[in-house]
Structure 1
């Protein structure tokens, strides 16, 4: 599931991790028709020369 959108129900919470079960995958959501994960990240996540992130709509 790396590089894919999924809906997850969180079932357990631990100090440094979360456990959950997959509710639905992007195939069931129909997301790839509109946008890929890479296009969302490229559009919303920007960093300056120091590596500080800022939002650019």
Structure 2
């Protein structure tokens, strides 16, 4: 996850420097963003399930 975010930052830094991004780089940025969002969603789902199990155990 951290590697994807660092890669996104590098691509966005290139964009900010005024060099622009090629269509391939834009597609790559979209892929890394999608993967990062999916990983975050899965982590949140796992945490939610874990909390539900813990709550059931306590009651």
* TM-score for the superposition, normalised by structure 1: 0.27
Report which of the two structures shows the higher radius of gyration computed on alpha carbons: 2
Which has the bigger relative contact order, CA under 8 A and spacing at least 6?
A: 2
Higher-strand-fraction structure? 1
